[in-house]
Amino acid sequence: MYSLLSFIGALIPTYWLSRLLLRVPVALPGPPIARLVTVHAVSAIILGLWIGSLMMGFGGFLPGKASVVVMPQLIWLAMDLLRGRQDRPARPPA
């Protein structure tokens, strides 16, 4: 279990990395929901590996510390799904 402070601290990097990855123009086959799930999974993996590697000085890779980003990432995924965020083509200027 992790503290509320760790949870709140993980919300910020998970948000920014997922937003950055959503802007990467990669065409994935399937529905737009599949792209959202893929982007959020990749974001969680990247941040989990980064946090886990930061903890190597404290006794090796700690998967428990790396899993701190899973719940915040699921929250951002749920928010995106509830908002209906899909890859929409940019509107040309009027």
Q: Which of 14, 10, 4 is nearest to 80 (CA)?
A: 14
Q: Are 48 and 15 in contact (CB under 8 A)?
A: no
Instruction: Kindly list the distances between the CA atom of residue 79 and the CA atoms of 29, 65, 66, 73, 87, in Å, as whole numbers in the listed order.
Output: 22, 24, 22, 10, 15
Token code pair at residue 60: 């090796």
Q: Which of 43, 32, 94, 50 is nearest to 72 (CA)?
A: 43
pLDDT attached to residue 57: 72
pLDDT attached to residue 71: 87
Q: What does each of the 94 residues of the chain score in pLDDT, given as a tens digit?
A: 557 887 888 889 899 998 998 888 777 777 778 888 888 999 988 988 887 777 777 766 666 666 788 888 999 899 888 887 555 555 666 5
The pTM (predicted TM-score) of the whole model is 0.73
